[in-house]
Amino acid sequence: MPLISPSILTGNFLSLGKDIEMLNNSRCDWIHLDIMDGNYVPNISFGFPVIQQIKSVAKKPLDVHLMIVEPERYIERFRDSGADILTVHYEACLHLNRTVNNIRDLGMKPAVSLNPHTPVSVLEEILPELYMVLIMSVNPGFGAQKFIDSSYDKIHKLKKMITDKNLDTLIEIDGGVDLENIGSLTRAGVDVFVAGNTIFSADDPVKMIGMLKEEISDK
């Protein structure tokens, strides 16, 4: 069954505790945290104190996506702050294999993200080491962007790589996911859906999560 991982970046930070409690009581599977440093992407989000507070009330695994330079410097601190799945960007890691193994050795599930311009072929060697690959279907750094249609081709290529190697690696998609495309993305091979604006701009976010789950339940 594909998973829903709502991104709290588009939530209301004045009532963050209420948003986390809402997600706890929804049909979502994970909670997606976008960590931005203002260097790797032109935006700044939040850091360790906020992650720790979220972890203290969250009943779902924390799916932490690092859009930062030199992520290897902070892996242990993200573990200590509560990350369950930790995603680093291929483009930000000089020694990717070392970073992935460090994430795993510290007890988290390692994932690697690819920007829209980066081909999936760069993961050929590292793929067996990964719990998940996150395909960015928008340019990273901001929410509420339009889905990049060429992402479908990347999903198909990545799915073939995973199947050919007989792996269980998950495919996650982040950017522009909504009720109109989530079904076709499921059929293309996506396992985990990050959705921010679609959920938090809805009149009833819990209902929207349920609707997204229904769209992928029979695909």
- Quote the tokens at residue 206: 């819990």
* Three-state SS annotation for 63-132: EEEEECCCHHHCHHHHHHHCCCEEEEEHHHCCCHHHHHHHHHHCCCEEEEEECCCCCHHHHCCCHHHCCE
Interatomic CA distance for residues 99 and 212, integer angstroms: 33
Interatomic CA distance for residues 95 and 72, integer angstroms: 9
122's torsion region: left (phi>0), alpha (psi -120 to 50) or beta?
alpha
Residue 46 per-residue DSSP state: -
* Catalytic positions, written as ranges: 34, 174
Q: How many Cα atoms sit within 13 Å of 136 on the Cβ side?
A: 25
Closest CA to 190 of 104, 128, 116, 132: 132
Residues 6+ apart with CB under 8 A from 214: none
